[in-house]
Structure 1
Amino acid sequence: MKKRISVYGFSLVFLGIFLMLSSKMIAQEKESTEVAKNDTVKVINTKEEKNRNVMLSAESATMPRQLNIGLPFQGDILIMENDLPVVYTFWTQMPTTAWRYDQSIGRIGLMSFQEGALTFGKVGYMVTSWDRQASRKFKGFASVYTSNYGTLRYDVNISGPIGKKGWGYTASIYENYEHGSGTNFKYTNFQERAEFFKVGLNKKYKNGELSVLYKHAEVTPYVMGGYSVLQYDGKGKTSEIEDFKIGKDSYILGSGLFPYFDYNTGEAKMGDLTSDEASQNLTDAFYLNGEHRFKNSMKLKYSAMYMKSKAALTIQYPLSISISEASESDVTEVYTLFGTQSDVNSSTSAYDYPGEQYNGAVQMVSSQYYPQVDINTFTARAELIKKVKNHDLRGGFTYQYYSAPIVFNSGVYYQTVEANPRLLNRTYAMDLSAYGMGTSYYPVTDATNGGIAVAGTYSDNTYSKTALYLSDDFTVGKRFNFGLGARIEHENNEVTRSIYPNEFVQDRLYTEKFKNKFNKVFIGNTVVKLTNNFGLLADATYNSWYNRYWEIDDATGAENIANDKDLIVTNFGGGIYWNHGKLFSLVSKITKIKKENNIAEETITSAAGESERVYPIFYDIETMGWSTDIISEPFKNFNMHLLFTIQDPRYKGYSYSTHFDNGEQSYNYSDNVIPDLSKILAEIDASYFLFKRDVRLWASLRYFGEQQANKINTIYYDGWWENFGGIDYNMSRNVTLKFQVVNFLDQRGVKGALVGGDQITDASSYVGRKLVASGIRPRTFELTATFKF
């Protein structure tokens, strides 16, 4: 691995200096960075969602939670910084490789579903954040975090004036030595290493302000994906297998070395999860943002970002239905530990193979290796805001440019089923009698470097998107509030790609240009005040965007016939709100959300071992739901937030089939419940202040009801609770200690879609068998100290 920038020692010294300065802390106004506030629900403002503690994630200590909207998460952007997305697309550049919620962030919030659609055409809720601006006098913010698993995270931000003419500066450092949940990954000491540096200049003048900021990030996630092997016991129940603790043990090759095949040449190679090429992400971003107030009360807000990145992503993806016990192995199959013996004794029997023979359970795993590539991103946004009588008018412009290759190397290999698995070679004995050579057997190894050849792919994508959007929030009389908005986006893109599916590229690339495509968004909302505290509300969103797909030319076998369909998301909601002072504020809505023209690819395997790829498959998703959100302060110092949802997320028109020699094989998921989405969701957030509000006790509990584990709905998991709790202690106006416990109920088990389980039509045959799914994050104790100086 390349040597990381040598800032560790410098950063510790830097941190020490600021912690010493903290002994001379000065009183200052409180700067709030909380997402979840217990303010009265402001139903008229549809641009921001409150009362959602999005930074409490049961999946990751550094990633915001994913908010359930009745649609499966498909990798859309989650995070905004300075009014712009931190990355253009989730794949292959993960948002948290370019962003962290640290002391450099001055404000954080949550953009509403409608606002995300209107401003950037996205589906779902997005975390919004803004970097700290220069202060009028020197200020500092610092925090130190640790956990019972040894994670160390610290960061510092300082800001202050430069002269007396409105100039100022801000600078910050963030370091993370992440051990996650203490899982014993033999190939690495850290689950992640991350460094962020920011430095910026601000200029305030009579009618506005201007800021420039430079951000550098080095993030190396040595572990991607949290799969666990388990036993399926039937009827929603699972259990741990012997010598493997879910959430504690690693199910990634203990050596960190994995076989793959070059996407272009098909050459067998060995990758290293700890290498920069496989895991390191580098980001250099430049921001320009500000606002200007005109004499006619019109305001202009603007932001621009150029980012140059190197992004890498590597996942080892278990194929759960391929786990086989030793008792199921054919007598002609032999598995040997890879690399334990260098010579083959070919003069003896068929079972004299390289390496030590292995007689336990075996798992087939896929390498998904996206080596480090260069990415260029430019994003800009400008917005004019003007109030005219009872109208709040807004006109916006966005431009997005994105250019990135995607190199995908793949391979399949066998591994042992245990903690820190070992790589295996599979050898089978070929019966030579069929060739008139008697009854002797000949050993055949179907792997190279431990891997079985699977073709990768390549594409080089350039996108250019220009959009205009308009909105008007207005009132009619004292009882009616309305909001209307529209967005039109012009898109050009060019793609150079491999056109022969399931084949190595061999330099056979095809370029296609797509011009003058249009994406559209329309939103509307209303609030009718029946009384001063009670009323009706409704909203509607239409969001469509261009989505291309390819079909095979029967004459050439090349997948080079370009087609497109609009992906369409519609969201309709209606309900009531009721504000009763501090006692409660309630919003209760019925919503219907639908996503049309999803495109899928499936592979069908026959009983004889034949495989057939089916593409494209078009289908819809539809969810009807009812949510009730309540905020309450029933007595002094006590706050409560309740959220309860009943929903029914289902596939529509999802079926596919193919023909084999022994007949047609088909699958139909229509009207089935979507995996990884619960029908019942509940959230309880409570807090209580003690000792003149210097101590805050709090807890957050989220219930996820029964989840289907596969699309065909033959396997499911029982519901579970995600839970957090803690104590915040304000030692002084400038020093706060926070003790938090993640999963204090010590929930154990699995969740999420079963890998490779979508064609399991008979779940009874899998009772008592080993499968693979995602594990629940184990109980973790965390301590954070924050300082202001």
Structure 2
Amino acid sequence: YHWRSDASLGEVGLMTPSESAIKTGNIAYSVNSFSKIGDKKFKGIVNYRSNHFGLQQFDMNVTGGIGDKWRYSGTMYQTFDPGTFKVKFDEYADRTQIYRAGLTRLFNDNKGKISLLYKYAYSRNSLNQLNSAPFIYVGDGSIKELPGFEPGLASYGPASGEFEYMDIMDGKMKTCNLRDMADNRSHEVTLLTDYTFDNGLKWNLDFKYMNAPEANYVDFGGSTISEVTEEDGYTLSDGTPYSGLIEGRRTWLHIGKVRNILLTTELEKTFGNHRMNLGLNEWYYHLDYHSSSMQWTATVQEYPEILTAADGSRFRGFNELSPEYTKGYENKLALYFTDDWQINPKLNLFYGGRLEYYRMSADQISHPRYSGFYIGDTAPDGTVITPANVTKDKLNYAATARVTYNMIKGFGLTADGTIATRFPRINEYAGTGPTEEQYNRVTIPLVRGGLFYKNSWLDLTSMVTYIAKSNNIDQQNLTKPGTSEGKTVLLIYDIQTLGWTTSAEIDPFKGFHLHALFTYQKPVYKNYNASVTFSDGSQMGVNANNMIVKEIPQVLVELDPSYNITKDLRLWLSFRYFGKTYANLQEALYFNGRWETFGGINWTVNKNFDLGVTVVNFLNQKGAKGTINGSELITKDEASKYAGCYMSGTYLRPFTVEFSASIKF
């Protein structure tokens, strides 16, 4: 919420999974961004972006020098985004503002510098709660639109943001406006220091303190869409009996306070054919977080109306579905190293390791949730709901090695292996688990190997990858098919995938460039089993073992051609193909493959002025993606029964025309 890729950044890079494993403890592609600190000459840039829905986005940065030893930088970022439809309970779907200021001192003949940076950020984003839409699931992987409801251009959120909930902290019934429950504010102070010694040794120390007194968001969920008659007792706000389509909706109000203290220091030096790096992390994270949940029944239409049930209630099931609570901290103290060793002109070896002392202390409520759950309540089984502290001291580790061998000019082989471990983190204690028996090490192995070829017009890489992760901890809301009743269960499972990826950068003639990528993968669940007992005593289970992970396609294709019409005028297109994806856990419901398309033209008017036009979804494809609400327990044998049924889920981004301009001075 408080980071944007804006004009304040001088460089944005990407760490490979291997680098990220060693430097952060996480196997992932990690964004690595560097703030502008300025130079002696005054410089500025103003960026502007808009679209045909009314988006207004500005960001501006100025840098310069004060004498020979001082540098300054200042940035402002503003977003006024109404979204692709009117929210009604908020004037913007995304309202974000960020202010940054920095001062740098150079010393010892510019061998070193020290920078002090401050950032304030405020963000309120309603799109979290409004990213779903109703549709008709045809049964062949496609959907039909409901009459009068075009996904992405119509809101499936109520016009009024007034909600009633039970505060999990004290059990009191309260009212809120969804607009005010999505506030995020943060203050951040950063100290950056680096120095290059005469012998070539480079040293840096980065320190950051972040305080977010408000770290909040609202989350919506859904269940089964069904049809009711007036005899069912639902009424509209004016008391008129209602008959028609309804959906049981769920809402979570997440309220948090977060503080971070992050310190990283590194030494880097070249010794002959070795470029070595030695680093230390001291990262402290404090969390004070809780969420309250409620359920409600609404009409199925644009700006649905919250219905009043036969018993006179508009909201129900308070804190029954996965309300969360935790308060505490986690601390990582890690030592790591890497060595980039050019053994000979053809052979390179990169390797590294990380050893991390991990301490976590968190308050946890392990008791199952129920309707009316709150801290201090006496549960139906007689238990008093009270947080209990869990403290863990563990050692995590990571290791990596990559070998690259150039067999002949432009052609070679590469292989790498990485393993990282961690134990459950503080956020995983916000629900009911894990218990002491369920507390296990999470292990993530990654192995890749392939070949590369490069010449004057082609840069080609083809690799096979295996990655797995054990002991994932997750909470799953399971809905009884055909109803709006849901229960929350704790899941601990494994996941693994084997994939083949080929990517190419092609420059066949002057001015033309093509990036192409093809991926085939098979991500599957392992040890994924859960069962639940509903209010009528019926028991149902989900068994997704060896099934394809929902929402993840097995086939991915990227095609990005671009052509410089002149040296100042560039035309580009981007095609993303996502193959068939499953929309529920047991491979019963699915969406067909789809193309997501982008295109645009960029014009460098002169050295100080750039213009651009981008079209999103220029093929104007419409459809759904992600997960279908309330479908968790539907099996393959039952899938045919749901053809032609009303359902809800997330949708494709609608056709959008965007405009951009950039002025440098």
> Shorter-normalised TM-score: what interval?
over 0.9
Deviations 1:762-781 (A, max 9, x none): 11221111111111111111
Structure 2 equivalent of residue 227 of structure 1: 132
- Give the SS at the match of 2:235: strand
Is 2:62 aligned against 1:179? no
Partners of 1:493 and 1:107 lie apart in 2 by 34
Structure 1 regions of 5+ residues with no counterpart? 1-96, 341-354, 428-443
Q: Do structure 1's residue 740 and structure 2's residue 614 form an aligned pair? A: yes
Is the 8 Å Cα contact of residues 482 and 527 (structure 1) preserved in structure 2?
yes
Q: Is structure 2 residue 236 aligned with structure 1 residue 337? A: yes
Aligned residues of 1:251 and 1:421 also touching (Cα < 8 A): yes
1:298 aligns with 2:201: yes
How far has the Cα of 1:172 moved from its partner?
Answer: 1.2
CA distance in 2, matches of 1:656, 1:173: 49
What secondary structure sits across from 2:309 in the alignment? strand
Matches within 5 A, 1:201-280: 201-205=103-107, 206=109, 207-225=111-129, 226-275=131-180, 278-280=181-183
Matched, 1:591 2:591: no
1:113 lines up with 2:17 in the alignment: yes
CA shift for structure 1 position 657: 3.5
Consecutive unaligned residues of structure 2, counting only runs of 5 or more, are: 378-384
Matched, 1:675 2:577: no
The TM-score with structure 1 as length reference comes to 0.78
Aligned partner of residue 748 in structure 1, secondary structure: coil
SS of the residue aligned with 1:337?
coil
Would the alpha carbon gap of residues 730 and 131 (structure 1) be closer, same or farther in structure 2, given more than 3 Å must change?
same
Deviations 1:698-725 (A, max 9, x none): 1111110010001100000011111111
Question: What is the aligned-residue RMSD (CA, Å)?
Answer: 2.4
Q: CA deviation at 1:135?
A: 1.7
Q: Give the deviation of 1:558 after TM superposition.
A: 11
Query: For the residues of structure 2 that align with 1:302 and 1:580, how far apart are their CA atoms?
Result: 40
Partner of 1:382: 265
Query: Number of matched residues?
Result: 645
Q: CA deviation at 1:404?
A: 1.6
2:513 pairs with 639, 647, 652, which one? Answer: 639
Is the CA contact (8 Å cut-off) linking 2:434 and 2:473 kept in structure 1? no
Task: Output one character per residue of 1:404-423: Cα deviation in whole Å (capped at 9) or x when no partner.
Answer: 21121111111111001111
The alignment partner of 2:22 has SS state of helix
- C-alpha distance in 1, partners of 2:53/2:493? 44
Task: Return closer, same or farther for 1:711/1:397 CA change in 2, 3 Å cut-off.
Answer: same
What CA distance in whole angstroms lies between the structure 2 residues aligned with 1:639 and 1:610? 51
- Deviation per CA, 1:175-200: give whole Å up to 9, x if none: 1111222x122222211111111110
* Structure 1 counterpart of 2:445, from 570, 589, 611: 570
Pairwise CA distance, 1:204: 2.1
Structure 2 partner of 1:30: none
3-state DSSP class of the match of 2:26? coil
Q: What is the TM-score when the length of structure 2 is the normalising length?
A: 0.92
- In structure 1, what is the Cα distance between the partners aligned to 2:315 and 2:276? 63
In proportion to residue count, which structure has more strand? 2
Q: Where do 1:131-530 residues align within 5 Å?
A: 131-164=35-68, 166-181=69-84, 183-205=85-107, 206=109, 207-225=111-129, 226-275=131-180, 278-320=181-223, 322-326=224-228, 332-338=231-237, 340=238, 355-371=239-255, 373-427=256-310, 444-445=311-312, 447=313, 449-455=314-320, 456-502=323-369, 503-506=373-376, 508-530=385-407
Paired position in structure 2 for 1:546: 423
Counting only pairs closer than 5 Å after superposition, residues 638-657 of structure 1 correspond to structure 2 as 638-657=512-531
Within 2, Cα distance between the matches of 1:670 and 1:629?
Answer: 31
Tell me what 1:780 maps to. 656
| 1:154 Cα deviation after fit | 1.0
Distance 1:537 1:551 in 2: 36
2:480–2:633 contact (8 Å) kept in structure 1: no
User: Which moves more between the two structures, 217-226 or 595-604?
Assistant: 595-604
The aligned runs of 1:41-60 (5 Å cut-off) are none
Letter in 2 for 1:779: F
Structure 1 CA distance for aligned equivalents of residues 76 and 484 of structure 2: 55
C-alpha distance 617-186 of structure 1, shift in aligned 2 (>3 A): closer
Q: What secondary structure sits across from 1:752 in the alignment? A: strand
Does residue 1:765 correspond to 2:641, yes or no? yes
| Structure 2 CA distance for partners of 1:411 and 1:613, relative to 1, 3 Å | closer
Q: Does the aligned pair in 2 maintain the 1:551–1:616 contact within 8 Å?
A: no
Contact 2:346–2:406 (8 Å) recurs in 1: yes
**Partners of 1:783 and 1:612 in 2: CA distance:** 44
Work out whether residues 484 and 524 of structure 1, in 8 Å CA contact, stay in contact via their aligned partners in 2: yes
Structure 1 residue 264: Cα displacement: 3.0
2: distance between equivalents of 1:319 and 1:705? 25
CA drift at 1:111: 1.5
Cα distance change, pair 386–530 in 1 and its aligned pair in 2 (3 A)? same
User: How far 1:316 sits from its partner (Å)?
Assistant: 4.3
Query: Residues of 2 paired with 1:588 and 1:607: CA distance?
Result: 44
3-state SS of paired residue (1:114)? helix
Look up the SS of the partner of 1:540 in the other structure.
strand
Matches of 2:433 and 2:412 in 1, distance apart? Answer: 59
One-letter amino acid of the structure 2 residue matched with residue 682 of structure 1: V
Instruction: Report the Cα distance in structure 1 between the residues aligned to 2:426 and 2:659, rounded to whole angstroms.
Output: 49
- The separation in 1 between residues aligned to 2:612 and 2:625, in whole angstroms, is 29
CA distance in structure 1 between the partners assigned to 2:337 and 2:317 by the alignment? 54
The one-character-per-residue Cα deviations of 1:584-633 (angstroms, maximum 9, x if unpaired) are 01010000111111234446677999989685443211111000010011
Conserved 8 A contact 1:318-1:363: no
1:537, 1:574 within 8 Å by CA — same for their partners in 2? yes
* Alignment partner, residue 688 of structure 1: 563
Task: Specify which of 613, 618, 628 is matched with residue 492 of structure 2.
Answer: 618
Conserved? CA contact 2:416–2:449, under 8 Å: yes
Quickly say closer, same or farther: Cα 1:416–1:262, change in 2 above 3 A: same
